[in-house]
Amino acid sequence: MEPSEELLSLVGDIYDAALDDSLWTSTLGSIVDLAGGQSGGLVRIGAAGEAVISHAVGVDPAFVQSYIETYEPFDPSRAVLHAPVGQIQTIGDWIDVDEFRTTMFYNEWTRPQGLEDAANILLDKSAAGLSRLSIMKAGGLVDRRMYQVISYITPHMQRAMHVRQKLQHQNALETTSAHTLDALRAAVLLLDAVGHITHSNASARDILEEADVLRAVHGRLVTSDLNADRMLRQALASTAHGDRATMGISLHLTARDGSYYVGHLVPLTAGRRQMFGASHEACAVLFVSKAALDTIVAPDLIRKLFKLTPAELRVFLSIVEVGGVPDVAKSVGVAETTIKTHLARIFTKTGTKRQADLVRLLAAFTPPIKI
């Protein structure tokens, strides 16, 4: 899915909400609207098993109360608590839709609100508890548009949850930033208007030391790709001048060994992000992740998530690991036309258009925290 300006803006709102809990309700409302849902909720379940709806939109308070007091144990979407973190699931993944419509939960809680289905994602899971996001849909089942929007924002929601949890254990943003950022697997670089690095986390320092896809020249960030470097300079200049149209950019970088990196530039020009940027004399933050096959997300999860056949999954992973169609055809031992046919089906199922989009898609599943 090619991110729109509205979607990129929403990603920025998600990170704002991670720093300011009062923004979650409006951000959740934007997620629901963009996905085409009717209502949504962020649910936190503590170590003792008690459910708390942290934030809810589009749901009457009486239904929120009755859910907590009566209906939560009968909600089939509770099964997402046992699903892999980050995997999108709908009602049909746990129970036949016709059978669901005969249940007490549907007839007494879901149906009176006009709801028919819901997309549920387990965002984080630890000994302290877990969090899940639910986007509920009226007038039919979860459709392609909702699935694509949620697929795009899910890794950002996961990162936001991780950041939020770490910030809750600290008293000052300045004190927590270095520790939080160093815990991230993604490289994080705070940049001023001309690209000078005002702060970098441990992962970023490792990449800069390799001086391959990124390097520092007299303190100024330089990328290995001239076109990406030009895009970065232009975006930084626009951000520094307060251009609200600049909602962020994505960069595709290739290392000397052929491995791929994906960068996301987010302006620090609104809300708490602006305060954070000011404290580091920065106008934007650049996140850089390696699109690697050694992530904790198993190929089987990717196959299930996008309903890929074994052959399509093989081509998907080969495109990321090997490169273009000719090289993949040679490595797999089939005709280029066959690879192109599989690739067309993969684009359709994943909502992507280019091979570089597949690299970005895989990078999005990279766990944000070092383990």
- Report pLDDT digits (tens) over 108-128: 999 999 999 999 999 888 777
What's 270's DSSP letter? S
**What's the whole-number mean pLDDT along residues 174-190?**
69
Rounded to whole angstroms, the Cα distance separating 287 from 14 reads 15
Q: What is the pTM of this model?
A: 0.48
Long-range contacts of 167-173 (CB under 8 A, 24+ apart): 167/18, 167/19, 173/19, 173/272, 173/275, 173/276, 173/279
pLDDT over 50 at 172, yes or no: no
- CATH number for the segment(s) 5-168: 3.30.450.40
Angle subtended by helix axes 310-321 and 325-332, to nearest 10 = 120
Within the chain, all domains assigned CATH 1.10.10.10 are found at 299-364
Rounded to whole angstroms, the Cα distance separating 258 from 264 reads 20
What's 214's DSSP letter? E
pLDDT over 90 at 57, yes or no: yes
User: What CA dihedral angle connects 24, 27, 33 and 38, to 10 degrees?
Assistant: 0
Look over the chain and give the mean of its residue pLDDT values, rounded to a whole number: 82
User: What CA dihedral angle connects 55, 57, 62 and 67, to 10 degrees?
Assistant: -60
Question: Per-residue b/e over 152-186, b at no fewer than 16 CB within 10 Å?
Answer: bbbbbbbbbbbbbbbbeeeeeeeebbeebbebbbb
Assess contact for 253 and 213: CB atoms under 8 A.
yes
pLDDT over 70 at 69, yes or no: yes
Secondary structure (H, E, C), 80-125:
HHHCCCCCEEEHHHCCCHHHHCCCHHHHHHHHHHCEEEEEEEEEEE
Stronger pLDDT, 234 or 46, i.e. the higher one: 234
Each residue of 132-148: pLDDT tens digit? Answer: 899 999 989 999 989 99
pLDDT over 90 at 306, yes or no: no
- CATH number for the segment(s) 299-364: 1.10.10.10
Alpha-carbon torsion (225, 229, 231, 235), positive or negative:
positive
Within the chain, all domains assigned CATH 3.30.450.20 are found at 173-291
Alpha-carbon torsion (275, 279, 281, 287), positive or negative:
negative
Q: Which amino acid is at 336?
A: E
Fold assignment, 173-291: Beta-Lactamase (3.30.450)
Rounded to whole angstroms, the Cα distance separating 7 from 13 reads 10
pLDDT of residue 171: 44
Tell me what percent of the residues of the chain surpass a pLDDT of 70. Answer: 83
Residue 369 has which token pair?
């925290």
Within the chain, all domains assigned CATH 3.30.450.40 are found at 5-168
Query: Which stretch of DSSP H or E encloses residue 24?
Result: helix 24-35
